[in-house]
A and B are shown apart, each in its own frame.
Chain A
Amino acid sequence: MAKVFNWQLGREIDFPYEVERPEKQFAMIFDTNKCISCQTCTVACKTTWTQGRGQEYMFWNNVETKPYGYYPLGWDVNILDALGVQAMDGPVYQGKTLFDAAPTGEVILGYVPDDRDYAHPNIGEDDSTGTMPRGAYMTAPHMQWMFYLPRICNHCTYAACLGACPRQSIYKRREDGIVLLDQSRCRGYRECVKACPYKKVYFNTQTKVSEKCIGCYPAVEGGRQTQCTTSCIGKIRVQGFLGKPDKPDADNPLDYLVFIKKVALPLYPQFGLEPNTYYIPPVHVPPAYLRQMFGWGVERAIETYKRAHEDTKLLAAMTLFGATPEISHYFRVDGDSVVGYDAKQAEIVRVPLREPAVVRELYDIKHKVYRTNIT
């Protein structure tokens, strides 16, 4: 085991390999407050990459309703249960990671899901924590709640799938940190399926080997965001690259949101993998639940998010979500607009920070009619 630094946990962790951070890290940010669980992202990924035989129930992108939705069934509660209760306080995580908790003979604490766990991709969809009592009124956080959690492979810095593969069939690209599973090298041992706590590697019964999200690398290499990002109806996503956690670049929208404003948080950071998809937590959900899911920065992230309208630069970075199919490597506020730039600093998109509002009169004198739609 090598010692590697996990910035999300503020400490070194044990990992089976010595690894250097990639030059830049593929990353995605989801604003959970805006997701409507339309599953357009899921379908976009499926129609692009997983239409083949043996991929029927393989969702590299899925959207589940928390707290009762999971794909595969119970993926997070199962591994949380196996890991046991851990202290979730920062800035240095004191609990065990899944690598720390590895049983004898294993690289990491994990489990192989049952085949039938994949049979219910939308279990728990739209189910809320409970019913509202008579006479209840709106409180924040909500008394009864649910929210949508879109998920892809996290292209982890310390990928468990990669660490557990005895054949080194899984590799992380130096140039962008995308984690790929070599389809010609895999022999279907399913060590990755067992090890990935996010259960984002799938076994294909027809090819007899495992498959996973490829981070839409052909698009990303061409400067375009992933299919699941560009198709997002709710414009809840942005995909780009993270730089080094100790040298954040305030002009990079992802560095700014993740490292500087800390408004977007990793999913189950306590597992220790340094996952690279980040979530703006839902503002209406009790923090105790969110803390377990996104770490100790949750209250602060929600506070920052709620005040985004007062913070032009933060608003600008968040306005880039869903604004362009291209990858914004840099951004800048220019008057009332945000401008996104590609890797060569060329302008790719310009979006007004506030949409102009036009209020039309209820009675149209010219046409002598009342308008029912007056927004």
Chain B
Amino acid sequence: MTVRGLALVVVMLSAPPAPALAQPAITAVRVSGAGPIADPAARVWKDARPVKVAMLAQTVTLPNLAEPAVKELSVRAVHNGGWIAFLIEWTDATLSDRLLVDSFGDQVAVQLPVDVKAAPPSPMMGHVGGRVNIMQWRAALQHDIDKGAPSIKDLYPHAWTDVYPDEVLGATDARPYAGALGIENPVSRGVASPVLDQMAEGWGSMTVKPDQHALGKGEWKEGTWRVAITRPMVSDDVNAPRLVPATRTAVAFAVWEGGHREVGARKAWSPWIPLVIQAAPPKAGAR
């Protein structure tokens, strides 16, 4: 391991398991219905009380920004017994969903400890032995899903190329010319969901999981993002938490303002916040 890697581990292990500070708990309110709650305009959100989450600059590891743009998120949480969901809202004057060398995309992420019984691991993407599940919604993925991935012609209308390998070679032979797409890098390939279901155990270890369970949707209107992120409460994924009604765990958030060139470690984050998963309502007629 490199010296820097070692230093990071030491810092992470010594980081306190982040007590809740003064941040009020977020309650995932039991709502009726079944299946994913992926629509930011769904009626169920009316049942949940928005909680303000103060966002801090990530300044522990390099690189970082002393003043990330987003200072506060407004978060609501609900669950229907099968799926848990978060509605995250924040002000962002610029819609950033196009990726060019100098254009970065808006993003927001929900982090849950994988082991809900243990004390939460380092709030900063977990630590070795303390895994976290990070569901990251990306505006650029949302754009690809809603409007299609931008081609070179979309990005540069006057571009001209005589021939691409995939126009003259078979799919297999053309793969080596497709860079990260040819080897199915999960951030390159087309996705069905704008939310990447990932796990991490410390900085630099973020990994997109082979099985994707997270869904969601983001809408930007009049300077505000409203993003819903949802996942099954229980799955066969060993790198996801088992979320059971009438228990408590923790949740944390990260947000990136693409227009402010926030990406990767250049972000705003929150410490762990207690997450209460509301019990199922008593069955009608039960005593």
Contact = CB atoms under 8 A, between A and B. Distances in A.
Contact of B185 (A107, A184, A193): A184
Contacts of A167: 204, 206, 264
A16 B99 contact: no
A52 B164 contact: yes
A130 interface: no
Contacts of B64: 105
Contacts of A208: 99, 140, 180, 187-188
Contacts of B61: 166
B222 interface: no
A214 B181 CA distance: 17
B59 A52 contact: no
A201 to B, nearest CB: 10
B62 interface: yes
B129 to A, nearest CB: 19
B265 A203 contact: no
B152 A56 contact: yes
Most interface-central of A54, A166, A167 (chain B CB within 10 A): A166
Interface in A47-89: 51-56
B152 A53 contact: yes
A48 to B, nearest CB: 10
Contact of A191 (B100, B181, B264): B264
A221 interface: no
Interface in A210-225: 211
B177 A52 contact: yes
Given A16-B4, A113-B101, A187 B264 contact: yes
A82 to B, nearest CB: 16
A53 B265 CA distance: 28
A129 B62 CA distance: 41
Contacts of A107: 62-63
B166 interface: yes
Interface residues of B, number: 45
Contacts of A54: 152, 179
A187 B152 contact: no
A2 B179 contact: no
Nearest to A112: B102
B11 interface: no
Given A56-B152, A167-B206, A206-B152, A118 B101 contact: yes
A169 to B, nearest CB: 9
Contacts, number: 128
A112 B203 CA distance: 23
A53 to B, nearest CB: 6
B20 interface: no
Interface in B1-28: 2-5
B216 to A, nearest CB: 19
Contacts of A323: none
Interface string B77-116: 0000000000000000000000111111000000000000
B183 A209 contact: no
B165 interface: yes
B33 interface: no
A111 B20 CA distance: 38
A6 interface: no
A203 B100 CA distance: 7
B180 A184 contact: yes
Given A188-B99, A208-B140, A53 B164 contact: yes
A56 B179 contact: no
Contact of A187 (B59, B155, B166, B206): B206
8 nearest A-B pairs in the assembled complex, by CB-CB distance: A189-B264, A52-B177, A207-B180, A203-B101, A207-B188, A183-B180, A105-B64, A207-B179
Interface of A: 2, 16-18, 51-56, 104-107, 112-115, 118, 164, 166-168, 183-191, 193, 202-209, 211
